[in-house]
């Protein structure tokens, strides 16, 4: 358990740093947002970025800064000087009502916020995150931050089976089976929102998106990824497997260099 919690704190700290590195929590947004993960052996608790640090920025989070909370949003562990994140009810209520969700990300990404204020439905504009915007996303129709149990439960109820929910004029939340999944969903959501904004500027509010029948074909194909059925790939895939997940691996490596114990310190014990 102690080792597991240590690992979860490390992964959550890295995920918060990745959000900053991706530009999803930068500039005026540098301290805003939080990634969390359910503790696998204690699913009624989760680890999340808190508040009250000397340097309160997602880009600077360390494993020892992480806060542990229960499903009512109470802090049950973590550094004494830190509190839960203010919007902890967003996390606790989703975990409470969605046992399949293992990780949640909430940030205030600029293009996603912009499109939510314009009240323009996000259309599929590129392959990255196509499945996220195939159907209209649920919207919390109020820019108020999520502080109370009622607001948290409304968020969880609106989310339903979706992988993402928009908070009008405020931000978005994404959920996943892992930190990697919820972070990448958020990155893809913001990419679709950005492409929608570009199209809106270039061609007006009635711009085209990828036709839904073609989007469905791509979604189906990507879900199967039948590379190994292609004759020119069969042998190679058998040997090397199908490689995915490069974006997460690259950014997780990039942001975690100072968290790794230097070899010389290890030698000194």
Which stretches of the chain bind Zn ion, using CB under 5 A?
171
d(CA 37, CA 12): 7
Residue number with CB closer to Zn ion (173 or 195): 173
> Closest approach of Cβ 171 to Zn ion, in Å?
5
Residue nearest Zn ion, Cβ-based: 171
Please count the other Cβ atoms lying within 10 Å of the Cβ belonging to residue 126. 15
Q: In the Cβ-directed half-sphere of 219, how many Cα atoms lie within 13 Å?
A: 15
Residue number with CB closer to Zn ion (107 or 122): 107
Residue number with CB closer to Zn ion (123 or 164): 164
Residue number with CB closer to Zn ion (47 or 173): 173
> Closest approach of Cβ 145 to Zn ion, in Å?
5
> Closest approach of Cβ 106 to Zn ion, in Å?
6
Residue number with CB closer to Zn ion (9 or 49): 49
> Closest approach of Cβ 138 to Zn ion, in Å?
16
> Closest approach of Cβ 95 to Zn ion, in Å?
17
Specify the DSSP element, H or E, that contains 193.
Answer: helix 179-203
Separation of CA 125 from chain center: 20
Residue number with CB closer to Zn ion (25 or 130): 25
Please count the other Cβ atoms lying within 10 Å of the Cβ belonging to residue 136. 11
> Closest approach of Cβ 113 to Zn ion, in Å?
10
């Amino acid at each position: 358990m102690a080792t597991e919690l240590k690992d979860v704190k490390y992964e959550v700290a890295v995920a918060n740093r990745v959000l900053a590195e991706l530009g999803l929590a930068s500039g005026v947004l540098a301290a805003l947002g939080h990634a969390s993960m359910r503790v696998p052996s204690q699913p009624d608790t989760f680890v999340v970025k808190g508040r009250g640090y000397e340097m309160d920025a997602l880009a600077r989070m360390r494993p020892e800064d992480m806060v542990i909370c229960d499903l009512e949003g109470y802090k049950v562990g973590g550094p004494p000087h830190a509190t839960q994140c203010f919007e902890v009810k967003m996390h606790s209520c989703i975990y409470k009502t969605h046992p399949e969700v293992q990780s949640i990300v909430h940030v205030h990404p600029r293009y996603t916020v912009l499109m939510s204020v314009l009240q323009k439905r996000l259309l599929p504009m590129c392959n990255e995150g196509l499945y996220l915007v195939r159907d209209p996303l649920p919207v919390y129709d109020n820019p108020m931050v999520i502080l109370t149990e009622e607001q948290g439960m409304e968020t969880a109820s609106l989310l339903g089976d979706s992988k993402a929910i928009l908070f009008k004029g405020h931000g978005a939340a994404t959920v996943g089976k892992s930190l990697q999944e919820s972070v990448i969903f958020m990155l893809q959501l913001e990419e679709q929102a950005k492409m929608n904004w570009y199209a809106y500027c270039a061609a007006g509010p009635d711009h085209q998106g990828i036709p839904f029948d073609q989007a469905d074909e791509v979604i189906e194909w990507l879900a199967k990824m039948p590379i190994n059925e292609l004759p020119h790939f069969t042998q190679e895939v058998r040997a090397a497997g199908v490689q995915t997940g490069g974006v997460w691996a690259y950014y997780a490596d990039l942001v975690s260099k100072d968290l790794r114990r230097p070899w010389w310190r290890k030698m000194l014990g």
